Amino acid sequence: MKRDGTERELTEAVDLCTADGRLNPAAVGWSPTPVHRCALPGSWGRRKRWDYWCVATPTHVLSVTYADVDYLGLADVWFLDLVHGRTANRSAISPLSRGFAMPERVGASSMSFGGRGLRLAIAEEAEGTRLTASFAGFDCDVVLARPAGHESLSVVIPWSEQRFQCTTKDNTRPASGRVRWEGEEWSFDGAYGCLDFGRGKWPYRTVWNWGSASGVDGGRTLGLQLGGKWTAGTGMTENALCVDGRLSKLSEELVWEYDSADWMRPWRIRSSRVDLTFTPVYDKRSRMQLGVAESEVHQCFGRYSGSVVADGDEVIPVTDLFGWVEEARWRW
């Protein structure tokens, strides 16, 4: 059943790749629950795998990254205290991704890393996904619950037979738990988290936009999943709304308007079903240069306002939804 009639909806389990490592044509589409088996045979150096979690509140933010890009593995924990404008961060890199093991399906197994002063675990448990991490002066223990019947967006973006990406964006995951840092404690009880699960074979140069938010606005539990640039011309988008746990797929490419000379100016994101203004309060600028790999990411945290249109032509006002937008540029 196609909810808007323009992109194929997948309803059964499917392999992302053929046996020789090319894109399986049957895998191209989207689904409201994860259906892709993401084994990535061949193409060493082009394979990118990651699980990224972010739990964002108007006063504090926690993000956890566990990634394998063939020639290196990355474990990263980042915490932002917005009230005082300070951050805690620890990253660890493993050459050739030694010690990293990532499942082929969303939530199929737990992951962990220990070394270089950082301990990190992403554990799949009966009640949900547990994020635990510790480094000097810092520790966190946060659980993202899995509500019964909750839907997420899984989609395959097909650049070519050799280059493609399967992504699952799972927002509005109810959070609980806390962060302790240098004798202070921050609670995530009542907050929401988002998973970005990625498995694919990427071109060397990539640019993308991503916007996300999860929370209660006007009595509705609303999740925004907004993408741009990297999907253009593929016939698929990674755009969707999650309203009270139910997914509405958005098949139009979004128009992103922002000032790359001043990231703190308001951003505008629009289509026939999206009319949003994002007002930043913090710009997380990340740069990496490591041999052949280089990146620059501006991830701005702030508030969304405007309106979106869910399935059934339901117009949903967005008045004060906290989340993020970003522009990422990669050579990898």
Percent of the chain with pLDDT over 70: 98
**Does residue 205 lie in a domain region?**
yes
Task: Place 293 in a pLDDT band, splitting at 50, 70 and 90.
Answer: confident
Rounded to an integer, the average pLDDT of 194-199 is 98
User: Which pLDDT tens digit goes with each residue over 71-112?
Assistant: 999 999 999 999 999 999 999 999 999 999 999 999 999 999
Task: Place 3 in a pLDDT band, splitting at 50, 70 and 90.
Answer: very low
b (16+ CB within 10 A) / e for 88-97:
bebebebeeb
Task: Place 291 in a pLDDT band, splitting at 50, 70 and 90.
Answer: confident
pTM over 0.85: yes
Residue 47 has pLDDT above 80, yes or no: yes
Written in H, E and C, the secondary structure of 252-282 is CCCEEECCCCCCCCCEEEECCCEEEEEEEEE
Distance CA 104, CA 39 (A): 6
Rounded to an integer, the average pLDDT of 276-283 is 98
Residue 64: CATH number of its domain? 2.40.370.10
Distance CA 29, CA 216 (A): 29
Judge whether 267 and 257 are in contact, CB under 8 Å.
Answer: yes
- Total structural domains within the chain: 1
Task: Place 292 in a pLDDT band, splitting at 50, 70 and 90.
Answer: confident
Task: Place 4 in a pLDDT band, splitting at 50, 70 and 90.
Answer: low
Rounded to an integer, the average pLDDT of 239-255 is 98
Question: Domain residues for 104?
Answer: 14-331
**Does residue 78 lie in a domain region?**
yes
**Does residue 6 lie in a domain region?**
no
| Integer-rounded Cα radius of gyration of the chain | 19
Task: Place 1 in a pLDDT band, splitting at 50, 70 and 90.
Answer: very low
**Does residue 8 lie in a domain region?**
no
Rounded to an integer, the average pLDDT of 203-218 is 97
Judge whether 173 and 54 are in contact, CB under 8 Å.
Answer: no
**Does residue 200 lie in a domain region?**
yes
Q: What pLDDT is stored for residue 5 in this prediction?
A: 55
Task: Place 149 in a pLDDT band, splitting at 50, 70 and 90.
Answer: very high
List the beta bridge partners of residue 185. Answer: 180
**Does residue 217 lie in a domain region?**
yes
DSSP codes of every residue in 12-81: S-EESB-TTSSB-GGG-SEESS--EE----S-TTTEEEEEEEEEE-SSEEEEEEEEE-SSEEEEEEEEEE
Rounded to an integer, the average pLDDT of 127-135 is 97
**Does residue 4 lie in a domain region?**
no
User: Which pLDDT tens digit goes with each residue over 156-195?
Assistant: 999 999 999 999 999 999 999 999 999 999 999 999 999 9
| Pairing mode of beta strands 14-15, 36-37 | parallel
Q: What pLDDT is stored for residue 2 in this prediction?
A: 39
**Does residue 7 lie in a domain region?**
no
Distance CA 241, CA 249 (A): 7
Rounded to an integer, the average pLDDT of 226-250 is 98
The per-residue pLDDT of the chain, averaged, comes to 96
